[in-house]
Amino acid sequence: MDFDKYIKMLKAMLDGSVVSLEIFFLTLLFAIPLALPIAMGRMSKNKLLAGSTNVFLLIIRGTPLMLQLLVVYFGPGLFVIWLKNMGYEIAFFNWLNSWWKRFPAAIIALSINYSAYFAEIYRGGIESIPKGQYEAAKVLGFTPVQTFFKIVLPQVVKRIVPAMGNEVITLVKDTALVSIIGVAELLMVAKERQSELFSFTPLFIAGVFYFIMNWGVSLAFAKLEKKLSYYH
C-alpha cells in the first residue's frame, strides 16, 4: 500500500472540506438576514409587492438548485455575448464577465436559494403568533417595530429552530452541488482521488466528513433549542 498517496488524498480532502465549510458559513451569513425582507414582502398588504415576492419564491423553490448555479455562473457571460450580438458594448458588463468567478457565483446562488426557503420558515413562524399579542402590545404603547423585535421575534426564533435546523443540515449536503460549476469542494476532490486511486475509500471518507459536519450542526441546534426552552 502506498501510504504517501493516501496521505496526499487526506490532505486534499481536508482542503476540500475547508472549501465546503467556507461555502456553508458564507451562505448562512447572507441567506439568514436576506430571508427576513423577503418574508416581509411576502406578507405585505401591498398586492404588487406580495405578488412579485410570491413569484420570486415560486421560481426559486420550483427550480433545481443545480440549474440556478449554472444560470448564476454562466449568465453574465451569456448576457455579454447577447449584448455584443445586439451591437452593444458596455464596459461594466465586460468587466463583470472578466471578474466573475466560480466561488462567488456559488455563494450567490446558494444564498438566494436558501433565503427563499428561510423566508417561508420565517413567514410561518410570524403568522403563528396570535393577533392578540399585537393588540396587547399596542395597548401598552409599543410601536410596530418594538412589537416585532421585543415580543414577536423572540417567540418566532423559538418556533422556527427545528425547521431551520433541517434546512441547515440540507445546506451542508447541498454544498456538494457547487462542483457542477467547477468549485473544488469535498465531493469533487473525493471523485478526483477515487479516479486516481481506483478505490472507493475517498468517497467513504467524504461521507464520514459530511456526517461529522452534520453531526456538529445537529448538536448546535439541539443546544440552541435547549437554551430557548424558557419560552415555553
Domain range spanning residue 44? 3-231
- 10-residue mean pLDDT series, the chain (232 residues): 77 91 96 95 93 96 95 81 69 60 91 96 91 86 85 87 94 94 89 82 90 94 84 50
- Total domains in the chain come to 1
Residue 96 is predicted with a pLDDT of 59
Query: Nine-digit cell at 90?
Result: 458596455
- DSSP string of the chain, one letter each residue: --HHHHHHHHHHHHHHHHHHHHHHHHHHHHHHHHHHHHHHHHH-S-HHHHHHHHHHHHHHHHS-HHHHHHHHHHHHHHHHHHHHHTT---HHHHHHHHH--HHHHHHHHHHHHHHHHHHHHHHHHHHTS-HHHHHHHHHTT--HHHIIIIIIHHHHHHHHHHHHHHHHHHHHHHGGGGGGGT---HHHHHHHHHHHHT-SHHHHHHHHHHHHHHHHHHHHHHHHHHHGGGG-
| pLDDT (0 to 100) of residue 38 | 96
pLDDT tens digit sequence for 32-63: 999 999 999 999 999 999 999 999 999 999 99
Specify the CATH number for the domain of residue 126: 1.10.3720.10
Look at residue 139 in the predicted model and tell me its pLDDT. Answer: 87
The rounded Cα 6 to chain-centroid distance in angstroms is: 32
Residue-level pLDDT at 92: 61
Q: How high is the pLDDT of residue 3? A: 74
pLDDT tens-digit profile of 110-139? 999 999 999 999 999 999 988 888 888 888
